[in-house]
C-alpha cells in the first residue's frame, strides 16, 4: 500500500472501532466499550506514526503514551496523563485475571466519562492531520 492509503486504512479502522464502541456502550457492555475505545486512539496514533515515518514498519505496541512519543506528538502534561490512564483499558480488558476487577469499575458513569474523554481526544488527534 502507498503511504496515503495505509494512513487512511488505519483511520478508517479507527472510525469503525468507534462505531463498535458506541454500540457496546448502548448495549451496556461497558468494559468492552472502553477496550475498543482504546483501539480507536491506538489506531489513530499509528496512522499518525505512519504519516511521519513511512515506509518503516509501525511499532507493534499498544501503549498509547509510547506511541505518541514515537511519532513524536506534542502533548500537554494532561494529555500525556490521559494516555497513560487510558492504557489500562487495553490491558485490563484483555487478561482474564484482571478482567473481573475491570468489569466492576466500569460503571455507566465511569465508562461515559472515560468514553467521552476518548472521543474528545480522538477528535483532537484528527485535527492534527
Against a cut of 0.85, is the pTM above it? yes
**∠ CA 121-126-129 to the nearest 5 degrees?**
135
Residue-range domains of the chain with CATH: 3-127 (1.20.120.330)
**d(Cα 53, Cα 71) in Å, to the nearest integer?**
8
Among all chains, which residue has been given the C-alpha cell 500500500?
A: 1
- The dihedrals phi and psi of 26, each to the nearest 5 degrees, come to -60, -35
pLDDT of residue 56: 86
The yes-or-no verdict on residue 93 having pLDDT over 70 is: no
* pLDDT > 90 in the chain, percent: 86
Is the per-residue pLDDT at 91 higher than 70? yes
pLDDT tens, 50-89? 999 998 888 999 999 999 999 999 999 999 999 999 999 9
pLDDT score for 124: 98
Amino acid at each position: 500500500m502507498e503511504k496515503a492509503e495505509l494512513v487512511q486504512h488505519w483511520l478508517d479502522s479507527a472510525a469503525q472501532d468507534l462505531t463498535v464502541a458506541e454500540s457496546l456502550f448502548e448495549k451496556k457492555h461497558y468494559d468492552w466499550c472502553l477496550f475498543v475505545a482504546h483501539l480507536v486512539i491506538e489506531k489513530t496514533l499509528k496512522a499518525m506514526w505512519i504519516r511521519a515515518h513511512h515506509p518503516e514498519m509501525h511499532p507493534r505496541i499498544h501503549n498509547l503514551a509510547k506511541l505518541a512519543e514515537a511519532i513524536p506528538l506534542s502533548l500537554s502534561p494532561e494529555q500525556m496523563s490521559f494516555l497513560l490512564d487510558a492504557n489500562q483499558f487495553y490491558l485490563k480488558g484483555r487478561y482474564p485475571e484482571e478482567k473481573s476487577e475491570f468489569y466492576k469499575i466500569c460503571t455507566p458513569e465511569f465508562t461515559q466519562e472515560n468514553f467521552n474523554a476518548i472521543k474528545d481526544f480522538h477528535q483532537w488527534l484528527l485535527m492534527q492531520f
